[in-house]
Chain A
């Protein structure tokens, strides 16, 4: 039922310069679900997220969020339309304090009251950040930074959350925490999540659906359980 989808991508083509990376990628994510985007290095996962959030201009295709086509809009406008992108390698602003990083995420909310409420929410949900709010974000560990960038993305009250390898480089205990957090965002806040992961096993463990990219093409799309059970697919593309 594509009409009911929070995020629909139709025949998306995108790349860099002469190089075409995404070749007619299509997907539909229902509201309140996690879709794992999987594939080997260089498959085009990051490019897909960057195209959705407007950092890469699509050459063709549509990107519908709640039925509105956002393709070819500017990144800042796409964010304002309710899509939050937590990029690969995080993007904490290390020169700003933790609180300033959070406030930055909430600036697109209109009104001081909404911003303050969002900040209070963030501190309640992540006490770790509340304790250190006056410290520079550069003093946080990798795992703490990952929590901060997700919390910062949530400050904008997005409907769609794009997460690029949130577990990259984290200790196993932090990976579990981050995955738990993503699951709770779906269950409690009803967020629609696109979760890019190298770690296919842990992504599929919390995802509702999965999408496997290879050389910029969708080679499999099914519910998470089906993908997990497909031994050939796992061996071929997912490496577990």
Chain B
């Protein structure tokens, strides 16, 4: 019972990281129907920016804030300079471009920062929390991680629902041709989508790296799991991304806890294959078919 509680709470905390990556993928998929394979690379790159700022200023929060800003900037620059030229080309072009971006970002990080593993600080204590004498399996830092992603997701949901920018984002996702005819400047909206994706990627990178290490490929496996979460959620649905992240986090935590933790990535891939077999549109996809 004690174990079960620990695995559940721990799984939710990790799942929120997958949720952040999943959200970043959904933000881009909704607007452009592009699967951004460079998302992990973007997250890794902005985490290095945070690391650099923390090295120089000694302030975790300065690094945290600069990383989020860097995510916004990186996302919009990449959309504008690299992805936009593939607009109206075959979808394969965009796939190749984002894979190329991943290689580029990881290569650049290696050149600039070197390949060694670096430790990255946590915002809060990583000592396990206890309720009375019962260990909960999560630390204050895990609570912060979950709260930060959840908070960002809620803000995103409010922006989507109640602001005119959010209306533009949704209209562009659902019916770009209609939005254009109504005067929505689609190009700017897509850039904004990438910027927000960069922000969520940076958030995930900074939050997860405190419990792993920072190196040029450090986000590769997190990306795969975030992608799995996005697919579970339907790729289309921000709510689905968050729920998918939590479900995946908890399932993998049970699998790792009860079956052995060496194979977590394998369990994740198994979950991905299973979801694609049972329900290819994901659990939360609104549309019956995926538009390409």
Contacts and interface: CB of A to CB of B under 8 A. Distances in A.
Given A95-B170, A95-B286, A96-B170, A107 B184 contact: yes
Interface residues of A, number: 21
B184 A76 contact: yes
B164 A103 contact: yes
B175 interface: yes
A239 B194 CA distance: 52
Pick from B175, B178, B182, B286 the residue with the most CB of A within 10 Å: B182
B175 A91 contact: yes
A93 interface: yes
Nearest to A81: B183
B174 interface: yes
Interface string A63-88: 00000000000011001100001010
A100 B173 CA distance: 14
Contacts of B185: 76
Contacts of A53: 181
A53 B171 CA distance: 19
Given A91-B175, A93-B175, A107-B164, A75 B170 contact: no
A193 interface: no
Contacts of A170: none
A104 B186 contact: no
B181 A93 contact: no
B183 A108 contact: yes
B276 interface: no
A189 B287 CA distance: 38
B30 to A, nearest CB: 11
Contacts of B182: 79, 104-105, 107-108, 152, 156
A104 B167 contact: yes
A91 B178 CA distance: 6
Interface in A177-197: none
Interface string A90-131: 010111100010011101100000000000000000000000
A56 interface: no
Interface in A32-76: 53, 55, 75-76
B234 to A, nearest CB: 13
State which size class the interface on B falls in. Answer: 10 to 19
Interface in B153-189: 164, 167-168, 170-171, 174-175, 177-186
Contacts of B164: 103, 107
Contacts of A55: 177, 181
Contacts of A100: 167, 170-171
B181 A107 contact: no
Contacts of B183: 76, 79-80, 107-108, 156
A91 B183 CA distance: 14
B196 to A, nearest CB: 19
Interface string B277-292: 0000000001000000
B66 to A, nearest CB: 32
Given A79-B182, A96-B174, A107-B167, 5 more contacts: A55-B177, A76-B183, A95-B286, A96-B167, A107-B164
26 contacts: A53-B181, A55-B181, A75-B181, A76-B181, A76-B185, A79-B182, A91-B177, A91-B178, A93-B171, A93-B174, A93-B175, A94-B174, A96-B167, A96-B170, A96-B174, A100-B171, A103-B167, A104-B167, A104-B171, A104-B179, A104-B182, A107-B182, A107-B184, A108-B183, A152-B182, A156-B183
